[in-house]
Chains A and B, each alone.
Chain A
């Protein structure tokens, strides 16, 4: 990545190099400025409450874990563990369900294609365009009448439906990358379907499947509207727990930042891990 490799042989060596340095400086400054609120959040989460709420801001105040301690119930407040566990349950199980439903569907849309497979693919996509509010009230009434309100497994089902279209699209595009000729060769050699799937398809498609799973996990973890309306005391998720910070409560900035960091950590980890495939997932497979 050194500047010299980008220099065309014919051009004078100094000018492009200076330009490259200019680009680097501009990019770094803009990147840091743009990301600064997030960095500020992390820094504030390690400050004492009295240092967090000063004007002008105290950048160099001493660091402490008090914000995290208070968030985790150190000061006698409610513990965030049940909501965190609920979020983990909803995100994990809905992702597993999504994979179980989407993998066979993607197989039928890429490797062993049904007729009019593009129409089916676009039907899946069109359901993603339906906003959550389209079905919110009937789902609420259904949950109330069947006793499923405040039940985390209802969220598991809803998050599955929310992510299924994206997962089908992404996996369809990843499975299409498996060359048909290898599959045919394996079948000519007498391999049966399970062997073909585990030995031929899985190794090629595995990174894509993993990225799909991570993206589904992120969307489920972030969801607020369903969780807010359909859960209460027992099944509330981490974003719902965060909404207790919507109204200010005295000196609470460090605790708020600690809470935001903790709740965002799984998403940051999953997002950085899936960075390369992120755009493909978010553009529903349209951009590779």
Chain B
């Protein structure tokens, strides 16, 4: 702890260091920076260096089963990503999967948040119930949906259909094979179940930061419930909705667990992360896998840039309020 030499001096936490870069102030600046360095160096080494290596690898034709044929191919791996039908499908699947999971869970999350924002008996318990799906290990949640819910013979969904049918005296109830008749929708539903609580928590925080006096004023001025929702609540929630959508997108673009567990990438559900895994771990195409990885990174960065802007605007607002 190099900083322990400085505490006797007058503290001036947020004050900028004077521009005169004398020796003493330089030393002090480094003493201030020192606690930051271990974390920064660690992160650069463990996350940024491997990505640079991925960039380099993506320019090589390299199958680990025939390593002697490894050679530089320039951008041809990227050409494959966009011309190979399976890889192009992975890009499209990723977009569809991410967009539908995020939009549906935001809509459901908004409904739950509005409900939880009201006062009623046992609100804490209901909140706990609603966040529970988010607190299951993703693999076990996916297994639960795959075997205990979707299974065509003994899954809960078909079991419930059968049970309802028997209530009305229907002998032969439809028993769909959910996973093979609608594979992508099945993955989407399982992910929506896990991510709705996330959206709900963010939107609930947004609702609770809504200024009470403004709502009260609107009520006194005779605004109806729908008017208050459309003209006051939604505009106030706009940035929380953006935040939920963008952070959700960043997390779900990267999803591997659900695709791996539910369908093992079959039936047109392979997204980019699963395809990288498959190309490198099973097909041993190291160069191609790296190129797919880089494409996934570019997609994430596009969303993330917007996400960072939203976070920073909320952050600045927090800071100015404090």
Residues of A at the B interface (CB closer than 8 Å) are 1-3, 5-6, 20-21, 23-24, 26-28, 30-32, 34-35, 37-38, 40-41, 44, 52-57, 101-102, 104-105, 107-109, 111-115, 118, 120, 122-127, 129-142, 157-158, 160-161, 164-165, 168, 173, 176, 180, 183-184, 187, 191-194, 196, 218, 221-222, 224-225, 228-229, 238-239, 242-243, 245-246, 248, 252-253, 256-257, 259-261, 263-264, 267-268, 271-272, 275, 278-279, 282-288
Contact = CB atoms under 8 A, between A and B. Distances in A.
A28 B130 CA distance: 10
A253 to B, nearest CB: 6
A194 B6 CA distance: 12
Given A37-B144, A126-B308, 18 more contacts: A40-B149, A102-B39, A108-B35, A112-B32, A130-B51, A134-B51, A136-B54, A138-B51, A139-B50, A161-B42, A192-B8, A196-B7, A225-B273, A239-B257, A246-B261, A252-B147, A272-B128, A286-B311
B98 interface: no
The list of the 6 closest CB pairs from A to B, nearest first, reads A135-B50, A104-B35, A260-B140, A138-B53, A129-B304, A24-B120
B143 A242 contact: yes
B144 A257 contact: yes
A164 B43 contact: yes
B178 interface: no
A158 B45 CA distance: 11
Given A137-B286, A253-B147, A284-B247, A35 B42 contact: no
B36 interface: yes
Classify the secondary structure of A's interface with B. helix
Most buried by B among A105, A136, A142, A284: A136
24 contacts: A2-B121, A20-B119, A20-B120, A32-B129, A34-B196, A56-B163, A57-B160, A104-B38, A129-B308, A183-B11, A192-B8, A193-B3, A218-B135, A222-B138, A224-B256, A225-B257, A229-B281, A239-B138, A242-B143, A264-B135, A264-B137, A267-B136, A268-B135, A288-B318
B308 A193 contact: no
B163 A57 contact: yes
A253 B42 contact: no
A288 B201 CA distance: 11
A23 B115 contact: yes
Given A35-B130, A135-B47, A229-B277, A40 B156 contact: yes
A114 B286 CA distance: 41
B36 A105 contact: yes
B205 interface: yes
Contact of B162 (A55, A107, A263): A55
Interface in B1-23: 1, 3-4, 6-8, 11, 13-14, 16-17
B63 to A, nearest CB: 13
Contacts of A187: 7-8, 11
Nearest to A224: B257
Contacts of A160: 42, 46
B139 A286 contact: no
Given A133-B276, A137-B289, A222-B137, A35 B132 contact: yes
A57 B4 CA distance: 65
B71 interface: no
B193 A37 contact: yes
A165 B311 CA distance: 14
Contacts of B78: none
Interface in B121-176: 121-123, 125-126, 128-141, 143-149, 151, 153-154, 156, 158-160, 162-163, 166
A124 B41 CA distance: 11
A124 to B, nearest CB: 7
Contacts of A2: 121
Interface string B294-308: 101100110010011
A134 B293 contact: yes
B115 A27 contact: yes
Given A27-B116, A28-B126, A105-B39, A267 B137 contact: yes
Nearest to B322: A176
A22 to B, nearest CB: 9
Contact of B137 (A164, A184, A260): A260
Given A30-B115, A134-B54, A57 B159 contact: yes
A176 B141 CA distance: 36
A40 B148 contact: yes
A125 B311 CA distance: 10
Contacts of A30: 112, 115
Given A38-B136, A104-B36, A136 B280 contact: yes
A250 B131 CA distance: 32
Contacts of A118: 312, 315
B115 A26 contact: yes
